[in-house]
Chain A
Amino acid sequence: MRRVLTPFNVICLLLFAASVAAYLLVQEEPELSGVPVYGEAGEVTDVAVTLYFSDADVQAFRTEERRISVQRDTPLNVAQAALAGLVAGPSGDGLAVLPPNSEVPDVWVRGEHFFVNLPGSYTRLNYGTSGENMLVCSITRTLLDVRGARDVSFLVGGRSADTLLGHLDLREPFTREDCN
């Protein structure tokens, strides 16, 4: 009679058992982690910002300290909320520089460079040269007070533009020196 429990047969049996166990293991449903939620609202915090409006002669700034609520205190969120504050208008004796109830300009942040997309509807504003200067400089000065901002570039209707209303040169970023 032949021997059944030969070393070869034992090894083959063990390998078979291992393969069955492995098969069963991979057939099991993997344990899923929770689905990540991107753009989570996070905690709402109040941040102090300085909003720049115009004086009655459209020659100088009128500043207002305001506390605005942002979800996560990032430069982008603070900048976007500050622009919303500019559109909302002043609460004091300053003049609004952005049309009330208008679309809030979008803002992007790349490091220390801020990019503002002025809505295309702004190109129809009936502002003179000093008015256009005040509009652009109010946004510039407001954003340059946000943490880490160095300069502000402007787009009009999502595109690079030489000017907004035909007076101001938008081809280069605006710095604090441009808006004294």
Chain B
Amino acid sequence: MKRHLARLLLPMMLAPVGVLGTAGIANAQFSVTRFDFLGRSAPSVILHGAEFARDDTLSSQLRLTRSGDIIRVAGFGHVLLLPLDRDQQRAASEFNTVQLDAERVNARTATLINGKLYLPLDTLARGLGAQYEPGKFTLPQAELTGVSSHAGRDADRVVLDLNRDVRYDVRVTPSEVRVVLYGARGAERTYTTRGRHLPRVQVARQGGNLVLSAPLGKNDGYRVYRTPKSQQVRLVLDVGPGIVRNLPALAARAHKPLIVLDPVGVDDSGQLGDVALEVAREAGELLSSAGWQVRLTRAGKSLASLAERADLARESDVFLTLDVGRFPGASGSGLTVYEHGGPSGVALLDNVRQAGERDLLSRMAVSDSGANRRLVQLLQGEFKALDVPAKTASVDRLYLLREAPHVALLVQLGWVHSDADSSRLRSEGRRREISVALARGIATYLSARAAGGTP
């Protein structure tokens, strides 16, 4: 009887010893531990000598989907297919066929523990291009390992080889396409190709990122896509007229900006006549003949309504009001360039301008106040060359300048009562010089903007 009792009690006494650090369900033997998952501590289990992590833990960085008994793991530019094996011991062995991108290999596979899905870390690291050692799952430093090119008839190609997948962003200006590789490392240099459409690309470091810059011709389209290559990742950039020009309309518009000249109508400007209209016409003709798109808010005496002028201001890339100073008893003289100060008053424009970090598209849609300043400086330079004194001032509540999303200035050509201004503006030659100065300033500004730089 005593022996029988001892036989019964012995396993009960030893059971807690086995449970310490080890859990046993059916024939499964696993211990719970923790591992470093991309810099964060996360729970894992050791199952038959292999480390597994639960799907909930991995889903913070990977996209896991289960379709029947196949687990699809997507992340870092790779796709893995792991069969689900309910036999934990077999799943933890390397006699399973798993698919890593396009390659089928023998490796550990997914299994269920207590009904929860667990995946082997070494297989994941192998397929995702990560580094794994027991207790640590890390990604290697992203590195640009090679740049190659291929010249085509309608498009050229540049291929970037990376040791692993990186997050990238494409930024397009009307004349350039930039691919930003976040957190990537690589040599700074310019690569020349034999292609006509993509003669060179430049790789430069900006902050902790690597930026590839490629020129974009006027009729060129571009595409950027990623393709996995074994343990590496390839990023492909195609540029050329053979690719649909998929530039955002705002970027394409930079090549065809609208210049609106707004000569203020004056009932009585004394001896000067309608000098604002004459200057606007001359400057407009000069700009049109140079290929720019120009609109005047009036062609003759008839004045456009304020609403019509405001509509043109909203469509414009450069809006220039031309006026002559009139005020009883004033004794001022000279040319004054007014720029709008303070908030626009148009909520949409103000919100976009006040946004902390603006992306390229928003900068294309709404210029900041720096653009006004650049055109003011250009015009000042042009007037200085003519020996015409040009002052600058700021006015906060000019109706049309507030409505314009891009550059908008008011140029007061002179004062009606000023003899010096009258003689200058009545002289056909001097008036033409002012028109040329205005046209040249605007053209320089827009050319620099289209080139993606600042004049």
**Residues of chain A having any CB pair with chain B under 8 Å:** 54, 56-59, 95-96, 99, 126-131, 133-134, 136, 162-163, 166-169, 171-172, 174, 177-180
7 tightest A-B CB contacts, nearest first: A57-B332, A131-B327, A169-B399, A128-B326, A56-B331, A128-B325, A95-B329
Contact indicator per residue, chain B 318-333, by CB within 8 Å of chain A (1) or not (0): 0001011111111110
**Does B410 have its Cβ within 8 Å of any Cβ on chain A?**
yes
**Does B74 have its Cβ within 8 Å of any Cβ on chain A?**
no
| Cα distance, A179 to B398, chains bound together (Å) | 12
| 5 extra A-B contacts, CB within 8 A, seeds A58-B327, A126-B268, A168-B397 | A57-B332, A58-B325, A136-B397, A168-B399, A178-B342
Chain B residues near A128: list those with CB within 8 A: 264, 323-327, 412, 416
| Cα distance, A150 to B330, chains bound together (Å) | 30
In this complex, what residue of A is CB-closest to B269?
A126
**Does B336 have its Cβ within 8 Å of any Cβ on chain A?**
yes
**Does B58 have its Cβ within 8 Å of any Cβ on chain A?**
no
Chain A residues near B398: list those with CB within 8 A: 129, 133, 167-169
Q: Can you show 28 pairs from A to B with CB atoms below 8 A apart? A: A56-B329, A56-B330, A57-B332, A58-B332, A59-B332, A59-B393, A95-B328, A96-B329, A126-B267, A126-B268, A127-B327, A128-B264, A128-B327, A129-B395, A129-B412, A130-B395, A130-B412, A131-B326, A133-B395, A133-B398, A136-B397, A166-B399, A169-B399, A169-B402, A172-B345, A177-B342, A177-B396, A178-B397
In this complex, what residue of B is CB-closest to A169?
B399
| Cα distance, A178 to B345, chains bound together (Å) | 11
Chain A residues near B416: list those with CB within 8 A: 128
Tell me the minimal C-beta distance from B301 to chain A in angstroms: 15
**Does B338 have its Cβ within 8 Å of any Cβ on chain A?**
yes
Chain A residues near B321: list those with CB within 8 A: 129
**Does B266 have its Cβ within 8 Å of any Cβ on chain A?**
yes
Contact indicator per residue, chain B 292-331, by CB within 8 Å of chain A (1) or not (0): 0000000000000010000000000000010111111111
Tell me the minimal C-beta distance from A29 to chain B in angstroms: 64
In this complex, what residue of A is CB-closest to B305?
A166
**A127 with B345, Cβ < 8 A, contacts A166-B306, A177-B396 known:** no
In this complex, what residue of B is CB-closest to A95?
B329
Chain B residues near A168: list those with CB within 8 A: 397-399
| Cα distance, A177 to B338, chains bound together (Å) | 17
Tell me the minimal C-beta distance from B349 to chain A in angstroms: 13
| Cα distance, A127 to B398, chains bound together (Å) | 14
Does B306 lie within 8 Å of A130, measured CB to CB?
no
Chain A residues near B306: list those with CB within 8 A: 162-163, 166
Cβ-neighbour of A126 out of B266, B323, B412 (below 8 A): B266
**A133 with B327, Cβ < 8 A, contacts A162-B306, A169-B345 known:** no
Chain B 317-372 interface residues, beta-carbon cutoff 8 Å to A: 321, 323-332, 336, 338, 342, 345
**A127 with B326, Cβ < 8 A, contacts A168-B398, A169-B398, A178-B397 known:** yes
Does B264 lie within 8 Å of A95, measured CB to CB?
no
Chain B 264-284 interface residues, beta-carbon cutoff 8 Å to A: 264, 266-268
Does B332 lie within 8 Å of A163, measured CB to CB?
no
| Cα distance, A131 to B412, chains bound together (Å) | 11
Does A133 lie within 8 Å of B397, measured CB to CB?
yes
Cβ-neighbour of A129 out of B328, B332, B345, B410 (below 8 A): B410
In this complex, what residue of B is CB-closest to A134?
B327
Chain A residues near B345: list those with CB within 8 A: 169, 171-172
Max chain A CB contacts within 10 Å: which of B326, B327, B329, B338? B327
Chain B residues near A58: list those with CB within 8 A: 325, 327, 330, 332
In this complex, what residue of A is CB-closest to B321?
A129
